[in-house]
Structure 1
Amino acid sequence: MDNKNQNSLHHVVIVGGGAGGLELATKLGDSLGRKGKAMITLIDKTKTHVWKPLLHEIAAGSMDPDKHELNYLAQAHWHHFKFRLGSMDNLDRAKREISISPYFDEDGEEVIPRRTVQYDTLIIAIGSTTNDFGVKGASEYSIALDTQDQAEKFHRRLHNALVRAQTQQAPVHAGQLEVVIVGAGATGVELSAELHNTTRELAAYGLDKIDPDRDIQISLIEANSRVLPALPPKLSNSVELELSKLRVHLYKGERVTEVTDKGVHTHSGRFIPSVLVVWAAGIKAPDFLHEIDGLETNRINQLVVNRTLQTTLDENIFAFGDCAACPWVGQAGESVPPRAQAAHQQASMLIKSVKCRVAGKAELPEFTYRDYGSLVNLGSYTTVGNLMGSLSGSSLFIEGLFARLMYQSLYKMHLMALHGFWSMALQTLARTITRRSESQVKLH
């Protein structure tokens, strides 16, 4: 298709290549893009995509990201949309134009200059970032797990700490091999279990001077009175029991007041020594969204949207996923929770919405969130969760093998949305075969 014909097409710009944004771009590309009915453009600040719920496994070293990342340019080529590398940092609603900041390489050289992209329909799906609530030292001395780079950075620090302890003459000192995780939500809980397993695997690979049970400590700090405070108490209790078996130190009802290069201080006066701190407490939408070009946002920078997922002040701009505050039907005054299943459901609806707009239809579908429950994976130890009954609304507690299979199926569903059933099945088979001849933990 020549540029003249492309310029006459309805231009759908999707900002953010997370699970929801990439699934949406893929489906719209396969339908509208392939048939030449619209031009679809995906913009993201990174070159590759990794499913965000896997980041704790990358951080712990139980997953090699090179084998699970997807190149955006390749996906765009296969599925009839365009990919542009960069970060959105401004919006001009009058011109229907977004601004993309310059892109620099690892040496600080400018590779791509600042540019603008015009749109007919803009869909913002840039997810969320960790909210450190302005705690002193949190941004300087702790690592969040919002991106693949951050997860890999933590793994490097963990690996270096273990190697340093192995080669030093002095005995391991307090805090040297202690990991402190702030926030006992799903990310913090899953990371603590993965770390318990992978640190012992790493120690078994020639790090004979390290006694994992004596030298490696994992601490989980939660301001609420129980872990997983957003999930049912029965699930929390089951997870706490499993973590206690792993000898993870739980500090409940403790609020972090300062993070230093030596450890973490809490409001009760407690000090937990550690040079490896992960901040996994709370979320917010990226700061640049705050009232961007007059759009309505809430206190954590989320764009306020109607049930059509259109922003309240501009019908040409949609937002979904963690960066959007969408009304939760049946829960007065509450927004749809920031979960992967919500973003997947919203992406599925937006496929229909975009097709309506391209066809010139004024009426758009409205979003109703369906909570199918939650699953928490404690690595190789166990998986627990609750499934919501679609008719009765009751909750069914599950654990063990069945829960693990359900958890694994979530990732398979994501792969199937991006590649189709047969590609997903072949990838799964190939990874199962090759995993038998590889180490079960990343060794560098």
Structure 2
Amino acid sequence: MHRFIVVGGGAGGLELATRLGDRYGEARAKRGKPQAASVTLVDRNPTHIWKPLLHEVAAGSMDPFTHQLEYPAQARWHGFEFQQGELTALDRAAKRITLGRVLDEDGAEMLPERVLEYDTLVLAIGSTTHFFGVPGAAENSIALDTVEQAERFRKRLIAACMRAEHLAPEKIAAEVAADDLSPAMNGGAEPRVQVAIIGAGATGVELSAELRNTAQVLSAYGLHKLDPRHDVGIVLIEAGTRILPALPERVSSATAELLNKLGVRLLTGERVTEVAPGVVRTASGKNLRADLTVWAAGITAPAVLSRLDGLTVNKLGQLIVRRTLQTELDDNIFALGDCAACEWPGHERGVPPRAQAAHQQATFLFKSLGNLLAGKPLEEFTYRDFGSLVSLGHFSAVGNLMGGLIGGNMLIEGLFARFMYMSLYRLHIAALHGYARMVLDTFAHWLRRTTLPRVKLH
């Protein structure tokens, strides 16, 4: 029996394992048909959450524990096996991978180191935050790679707001004096709490808008008595000349206008050179006060990829793959998503690290691996860019649509853009559970939100 192993339970990896399990795995046997393959999903965490939503977790507008999916349950429902553990080694000659030990919260071993054998290996382990060697960035800022990091930021934000309410006036004055931003930039009033977000890509922009809503809700529920607009400052710092540098300029301009209306300070052309406790320093000599600092300035591939047996990587540590998504040196190893460097014909850069790319590659690989089982030749992957959407919380959304749906490139914003953005997550749920269950899941979460505050308060 052919053995598929998918390493990485992100958007692309989980969708692929689910579809393989349904078509070829144990789910096929339950329908009375002979099982064609064994499918194993590997991830270091026991649960899945859609990574583009982590900024909502950080802002408290989404409860991760009601949206997370348990891998063992998904495996049971869709006919594949789940193995928890982190990939530590690869033996291409023996077709084996090694998973590291899994420890509990007290440091006791739950699962030992294990070796799994494969016939076809798919690597989909995503990406991690790139600190670019900036001194103090890793130690004094919070990244948003995991639920734990997002929850840590949310709790620290609530604590900072509650603490600031009772700060002595002279201490506030001292902190404000150390900030090189002009008071005029914030309507003449300096914030008592200031959040610095480094990197104005999609994550940084979306988090800045969500935080403005969070400050208002926390005040409305009495967790602090600060003015949510003037006492809670949000600074978005970008080294490039504009925010959302990877998106069309008109999307960037429309988003900047909306953020300015929300009272978010935009600092472009400011390269961060150091992140120290309570302060962010830039190459132009600015010292920016920061009670909380979020690093959202870039991504890189996990370091383990550069240590795998003979596989080639690019300067970002991504596995270099052919148009078939097979690695350069091994036809039995595929890669998809953020950890893969795939050519995009007609473009200077490769396929971008976006959720829609991972979804398209998972769909493509599902068909390709079926051809592999049937002894048919593999096709080449072609990425289709359908545009990009950026959420500004419940205030709005903005983006551009592309492709055959509209016959060109169209800027959208407002309610329609917000609906399109929300539908992306629902399409991910549909890919994992089917459309009927997706509809029920949507309705269930809507009912739950009617009985809860819009932001987590603890």
Equivalence for 1:338: 353
Which amino acid is 2:84 matched to? Answer: L
How does 1:44-55 map onto structure 2 within 5 Å? Answer: 44-55=43-54
1:197-252 per-residue CA deviation (whole Å, 9 max, x = no partner) reads 11111122113432223321000000000000110111000000011111111110
Equivalence for 2:132: 133
**What percent of counterpart residues are identical?**
57
Conserved 8 A contact 2:385-2:403: no
CA 1:367/1:155 → structure 2, altered by over 3 Å: closer, same or farther? Answer: same
Give 1:391 shift. 8.1
The 4+ residue runs of structure 1 with deviation greater than 4 A are 167-172
**Pairing partner for 1:382 from 365, 374, 396:** 396
Equivalence for 1:329: 345
Conserved 8 A contact 2:161-2:224: no
SS of the equivalent of 2:229 reads helix
**Structure 2 unmatched ranges of 5 or more:** 29-34, 177-191
CA 1:393/1:368 → structure 2, altered by over 3 Å: closer, same or farther? Answer: farther
Equivalence for 2:215: 199
Determine if the alignment matches structure 1 residue 422 to structure 2 residue 436.
yes
Determine if the alignment matches structure 1 residue 433 to structure 2 residue 432.
no
Return the alpha-carbon distance in structure 2 between the equivalents of residues 334 and 386 of structure 1. 19
Return the alpha-carbon distance in structure 2 between the equivalents of residues 64 and 392 of structure 1. 35
SS of the equivalent of 1:370 reads coil
Determine if the alignment matches structure 1 residue 188 to structure 2 residue 204.
yes
Give 1:79 shift. 0.4
How does 1:3-152 map onto structure 2 within 5 Å? Answer: 9-33=1-25, 34-35=27-28, 36-152=35-151
Conserved 8 A contact 1:310-1:319: yes
Give 1:359 shift. 2.4
Give 1:177 shift. 1.7
1:300-326 per-residue CA deviation (whole Å, 9 max, x = no partner) reads 000000010000000000000000000
CA 1:329/1:200 → structure 2, altered by over 3 Å: closer, same or farther? Answer: same
Return the alpha-carbon distance in structure 1 between the equivalents of residues 153 and 277 of structure 2. 15
Conserved 8 A contact 1:352-1:365: no
**Pairing partner for 1:360 from 372, 375, 385:** 375
SS of the equivalent of 2:234 reads strand
Tell me the TM-score normalised to structure 2 length: 0.92
SS of the equivalent of 1:250 reads strand
Give 1:169 shift. 5.5
Which amino acid is 1:19 matched to? Answer: A
Return the alpha-carbon distance in structure 2 between the equivalents of residues 172 and 434 of structure 1. 42
Equivalence for 1:252: 268
1:104-135 per-residue CA deviation (whole Å, 9 max, x = no partner) reads 11111111111111110000000111111010
Return the alpha-carbon distance in structure 1 between the equivalents of residues 307 and 52 of structure 2. 28
Give 1:168 shift. 4.9
Which amino acid is 2:164 matched to? Answer: A
Report the number of matched residues: 434
Which amino acid is 2:418 matched to? Answer: R
Return the alpha-carbon distance in structure 1 between the equivalents of residues 393 and 131 of structure 2. 26
Give 1:389 shift. 2.8
Conserved 8 A contact 1:58-1:64: yes
Equivalence for 1:405: 419
Which amino acid is 1:262 matched to? Answer: G
1:286-305 per-residue CA deviation (whole Å, 9 max, x = no partner) reads 01111521111000000000
Which amino acid is 2:220 matched to? Answer: A
Equivalence for 1:4: none
How does 1:213-252 map onto structure 2 within 5 Å? Answer: 213-252=229-268
1:343-389 per-residue CA deviation (whole Å, 9 max, x = no partner) reads 0000001001111222233x112100000000011001111111113
Return the alpha-carbon distance in structure 2 between the equivalents of residues 107 and 203 of structure 1. 36
Determine if the alignment matches structure 1 residue 281 to structure 2 residue 297.
yes
Tell me the TM-score normalised to structure 1 length: 0.95
More deviation, 27-36/209-218 = 209-218
